[in-house]
Amino acid sequence: NQLSSKAQRICTPFQYREKKRLHTRFYIRFPHNAYHIKFTRAYNTHRKMLDPNLESRLTVLDERLLSPGMYEMNQSFYKWSRDYWWKDEEIHHRRVKARQELRRFKNTSAQDAIEEITFRGLRLSKSEF
């Protein structure tokens, strides 16, 4: 942040306030064609195994998992997994209805929500008789 006076003449000063004090920061003036911004991903998008034996073994295992009966067995073992919840339509519809009910109470006060819930409970209990 400390530049010589010769370096400051090359730069553009920029003043800003921080905690009620005036600070000066210098930015270098580059011609627009003097630099090129390059964006690169910060994560791996593709990967490939280099061992052909491992690849052939994985294809054999995939074929075995896709053989008749294996898919049904796998579904029965992992019935309560996170992915299964969204495959079952009845559970999905119940979750959507619950979310809609909660959305109705989003902009109401707590007292109004309690009154509505108790009124609904009374109305349901009277309909049973």
Q: Taking the C-alpha atoms of 84, 89, 90 and 95 in order, what is their torsion angle to the nearest 10 degrees?
A: 80
**Whether pLDDT at 127 is above 80:** no
* Cα separation, 109 vs 116, whole angstroms: 11
pLDDT of residue 5: 86
Tell me phi and psi for residue 66, to 5 degrees: -90, 0
Q: Are 84 and 92 in contact (CB under 8 A)?
A: no
Residue 64 has pLDDT above 70, yes or no: yes
Percentage of the chain modeled with pLDDT above 70: 84
